Amino acid sequence: MEKFVLEKELAKDLKLIKMTSFKDMRGEYIKSYSYRDLSSLGIDTKFLEDNYLISKKGSIRGLHYQRDNPEAKLIRCLEGSIMDIVVDLRKDSDTYKKVFKIRLSRGDDLLFSIPDGFAHGFISLTDSTVLYKSSNYYYPKDQYGVSIFSSEIGLDKILEEENIENVIVTEKDKSHAKIRDI
């Protein structure tokens, strides 16, 4: 079976990976995680948790990050479709405060590898299920956020293009700082 393939590197260590899959008359086999394959692509991260997020169409999650306990993440859309959004918060980065958006869908066999130092979130374009691996544990007192309503993200354009009329977002996520204020 073939190894994972680097589809694209959007910024230093921010990578889109094509997983290994095999289809025949019985169905489909997908290798969704391989430490060996990922480390050969420069992703040498030990993941500590798996999290499933089941979201309704129009749901907005994030953008979240932890300052003292940063997390690298590995994102995969198991059902439906999402617009995954990250903001580079690494002050020494050439892409500091830059926004990156990637559409992930069931069947595209893509993993989105996000290193430490990024705020992360997504918009559920359909009812969706997302699996993400995290390199650290969740610490509620170390939870911070970036506003999805920051102009740099272009939320209105995404919603219009995807024909999403109603969004579902928590009060906490509505209250996060805009990118320009971080």
Check 65, 120, 132, 176 and give the catalytic one.
132
The whole-angstrom separation of Cα 68 and Cα 152 is: 25
The whole-angstrom separation of Cα 180 and Cα 146 is: 10
Q: What was the pLDDT predicted at 87?
A: 96
Query: pLDDT band at 30, cuts 50/70/90?
Result: confident
Q: What was the pLDDT predicted at 21?
A: 82
Check 64, 65, 120, 176 and give the catalytic one.
64
Average of per-residue pLDDT across 39-52 = 94
Q: What is the pTM of this model?
A: 0.92
Mean pLDDT over the full length of the chain: 94
- Reference 134, options 35, 53, 47, 76; nearest CA is 47
| 77-101 pLDDT tens trace | 999 999 999 999 999 999 999 999 9
Can you list the positions of beta strands (E) in 67-180?
A: 73-79, 81-88, 99-105, 110-114, 118-124, 128-134, 143-145
Assess whether 132 carries a catalytic annotation. Answer: yes
Residue 1 has pLDDT above 60, yes or no: no
Are 87 and 146 in contact by the 8 Å Cβ rule? The answer is: yes
- Reference 169, options 59, 63, 55, 84; nearest CA is 59
Instruction: Specify the fold of 5-181.
Output: Jelly Rolls (2.60.120)
Average of per-residue pLDDT across 19-31 = 88
The whole-angstrom separation of Cα 94 and Cα 77 is: 28
Assess whether 176 carries a catalytic annotation. Answer: no
